[in-house]
Amino acid sequence: MITQPQTTTIPDPDEERRRIQTERLLAYRDDGPIATMLKGALGRGLPPVPFTIVALLAVVALAVGGVLDEGPILLAPVLILVLLVLPSAPSDHLGRLDWLTPPLLRGAEFLTIILLGLAEGTPKWLLFVLLYVVGYHTYDTVYRTRQGIWPPAWLFRAGLGWEGRLLILGVGAAAGLLTAVAAVLTAYLFVLFAVESVVSWVRLDKASAQAQAQADQDLEQSPEEAAEQLTGDADPA
């Protein structure tokens, strides 16, 4: 029986670099379940940078115009961001300036949260804690991916994504309940992100320690011991 030699496909370095770049930028965007659910229906997606900039400028214009007072109008900046930025989620983010999308999007999210909080008189310390929790999640994601470790996909869904968080806060602000909604959301996100992060890093440290211990044991083992262990393992077989 003649068998064909098996060939190993070597991934193209340029394609691999593009794939990793796309995965990193998508992770930094922190899209949630709404964006994930709609990706299939949005085709290739809109260019992320221009639409994010337009959305950010529109939110700034609403703030400068002094129209963000109270009531349903407080949903306006949230809807602007969702309607303009969400369609860019399926983009491959390989454009020359697409690396700007995550910081622009995070800045737009933080600015909207601050504007809603100021309009509703939400305690500033609560706004600070909420921004800190989301900022920590972003930092943790960036640090992990730079170490070649990717957060689990369920974490982004459970974290609601930028669009889910803003929609919840926008509805709460429009109903005049932003302080209570922000408090519950902050507590939920704090527990979620803190516990998942600590558990993941502890597991990684244990795995690294075990690998290092095994490597040290292999280095300390003499060639005679290694040959004897190999012979002993082969005898039962």
Separation between Cα atoms, residue 58 and residue 88, nearest integer Å: 17
Q: Which domain holds residue 212?
A: 14-218
Residue 64: predicted pLDDT: 93
Decide if 57 is inside a domain: yes
Selected residue with higher pLDDT from 92 and 9: 92
Farthest-apart Cα atoms in the chain, separation: 83
- In this structure, are residues 199 and 114 in contact, taking their beta carbons and an 8 Å threshold? no
Separation between Cα atoms, residue 69 and residue 119, nearest integer Å: 6
Closest CA to 161 of 181, 183, 189: 189
Asked whether the predicted pLDDT for residue 72 surpasses 60, the reply is yes
Residue type, 104: L
Percent of the chain at pLDDT above 70? 81
Decide if 5 is inside a domain: no
Decide if 226 is inside a domain: no
Selected residue with higher pLDDT from 12 and 226: 12
Residue type, 156: F
**Helix or strand or coil: residue 47?**
coil
pLDDT band at 74 (very low <50, low <70, confident <90, very high): very high
Residue 206: predicted pLDDT: 61
Q: Which pTM value belongs to this model?
A: 0.80
Separation between Cα atoms, residue 151 and residue 136, nearest integer Å: 13
Decide if 113 is inside a domain: yes
Asked whether the predicted pLDDT for residue 78 surpasses 90, the reply is yes
Selected residue with higher pLDDT from 201 and 235: 201
Residue 53: predicted pLDDT: 96
Q: How many residues does the chain have?
A: 237
Selected residue with higher pLDDT from 70 and 166: 166
| Tokens describing residue 84 | 């303009």
Selected residue with higher pLDDT from 227 and 129: 129
How many domains does the chain divide into? Answer: 1
- Residue-wise pLDDT tens digits, 148-169: 788 888 999 999 999 999 999 9
Spatial neighbors of 120 by CB under 8 A, at least 6 apart, are 70, 74, 173, 176, 178, 179
**Residue 24's domain is classified under what CATH number?**
1.20.120
Decide if 214 is inside a domain: yes
Mean pLDDT of 125-135: 96
Decide if 233 is inside a domain: no
Residue 229: predicted pLDDT: 52
- In this structure, are residues 151 and 29 in contact, taking their beta carbons and an 8 Å threshold? no
- Residue-wise pLDDT tens digits, 6-63: 544 556 677 777 778 888 899 999 999 999 898 888 888 889 999 999 999 999 999 9
Separation between Cα atoms, residue 233 and residue 220, nearest integer Å: 19
DSSP conformation class of 162: H
Separation between Cα atoms, residue 46 and residue 66, nearest integer Å: 30
Decide if 231 is inside a domain: no
Decide if 7 is inside a domain: no
Mean pLDDT of 180-206: 89
- In this structure, are residues 164 and 34 in contact, taking their beta carbons and an 8 Å threshold? yes
